[in-house]
Chains A and B, each alone.
Chain A
Amino acid sequence: MDIFTKFEPLDNKIDILLSNSKHNPFGTVIDTIISPTVGIINGKETLLFGTNNYLGLSQSEPAKQAASHAAIRYGVGTTGSRIANGSYSQHQSLEDEIKNFFHKRSCMVFSTGYQATLGMVSTLAGKDDFLFLDADCHASIYDGSRMSQAQIIRFRHNDPDDLRKRLRRVKNIKGVKLVVVEGVYSMLGDIIPLKEFVDVKKEENAYLMIDEAHSFGIFGDHGRGIAEKENVEQDIDFVVGTFSKSLGTVGGFCVSDYPQFETLRYCTRPYMFTASLPPEVIAATRENLNIIQNQPKLRHKLTANASRFYHALQQEGFQTGPDISPVISVILDDVAQAAQFWDKVLELGAYVNLSLPPATPDHRPLLRASIAATHENDQIDKLVSIYVQSAKEIGIPLGRN
């Protein structure tokens, strides 16, 4: 037995996966990016449908220009954390712009989205407090809960009644209750019934945090996410989000109206003990935030694209998630079949994500596509025909709806 012995079961799983797929689903290399929707993979032009680049802004010209200028003017890194030498006026300007966008009092910017949720969950819930996490919450939320030392209670996915029941079980135990949910869940792309969660939060006197990672920039009249769409923004205590999806860069944020929020800068470890974002990333993010604010046509096109893809998949008889969002997954039965399907789709010219249990709900493997505003109709239609051909060649039965 040595230090790696405990990884043997994982090694075996990887071996089985690779025996079913010529290419490694978790080691795909994009040789070159041609556009937000096309790249070169394995030397071949490939449609990109697995990049979470929902508004196509990773390739935004204004952001590229701003990033270049910032790098030349301020350098390529800050070499310090936000609480030491790593806060430039650009970081403050970005925080101001995000808090104004959300009409909130305060904003903290983190170096990744992972760190934003990790930091907020781990810091807000203390030792005697309770965290209530949706069963399908992202790994960063679960990791943050473990760091928090709070009592962690998991409730059934998207089920406000189940949350109410679990909150009531500990009603008489002292300690603050913080509920953590997501606007759009990253695996199936399903949307939270947020109004009902807000009712439960109010009834049971709990705090509510929402991660709008997959909904910020996309839902709501102004792109502020599911809370805006459902008209409950005033009832959300903390909103976290990422820059690495609709904003096309890297980083994360949390906004809140509590005057005490600023104190968190002095005790949130994933904010304090890591280098701040480099100037070029801040500059590009600010530019893309401006685009999100001023170009609503991007999210309208994204919604139309997602709807086109979702309905086409249903028409062809694929099993999908319940909602139309930028994440649209086909639900499959077993891992070997899913790996073969993913590999065939890549071979036929489209890159999507393979998502495997235990990261997926109900232990079902998924073929997960992320749709972008920059996809053309013929690219979406092409992906549908690639799915149909792949399913046929692998022998995946399709039910007709």
Chain B
Amino acid sequence: MTTTAESVSKIIIETLLENPRVPRNISPESKIIEDLEFDSLAVMNFVMEIEDKLDVSVPLDHLTDVRTIHDLAEAIVSLK
């Protein structure tokens, strides 16, 4: 199966929704810090979960330009 930003976004959203504190109406364009109210630690912990789901390591320095769920998906696809 080819991994696309769309398919990874879907997995990210599914994983986020497992957390009851995350708003229900999130989309690939949701901003991780502002819309999800994640602090820096929560972002890093969440990325760790996604890494293990997709068996990929996302170096933290790759996250500096990530604002939205779609940005994160693209960063992961570029590493696959």
Contacts and interface: CB of A to CB of B under 8 A. Distances in A.
B59 A153 contact: yes
Given A135-B48, A169-B55, A153 B41 contact: no
A156 interface: yes
Interface string B8-51: 00000000000000000000000000000001111011001001
- For chain B, the bracket of interface size reads 10 to 19
Interface residues of A, number: 17
Contacts of A152: 59-61
Contacts of B57: 153, 166, 169-170
B41 A169 contact: no
A333 B48 CA distance: 23
Given A152-B61, A153-B60, A358-B40, A135 B45 contact: yes
Contacts of B62: 151
A358 B61 contact: no
Given A135-B48, A169-B55, A154 B41 contact: no
Contact of A151 (B39, B41, B45, B61): B61
A358 B45 CA distance: 11
A146 B62 CA distance: 11
Interface in A101-155: 130, 135, 145-146, 149-154
Given A156-B48, A363-B42, 10 more contacts: A135-B48, A145-B60, A151-B59, A151-B61, A152-B60, A153-B59, A153-B60, A169-B55, A169-B57, A357-B39
10 contacts: A145-B60, A149-B61, A153-B59, A154-B44, A154-B60, A166-B51, A169-B55, A358-B40, A363-B41, A363-B42
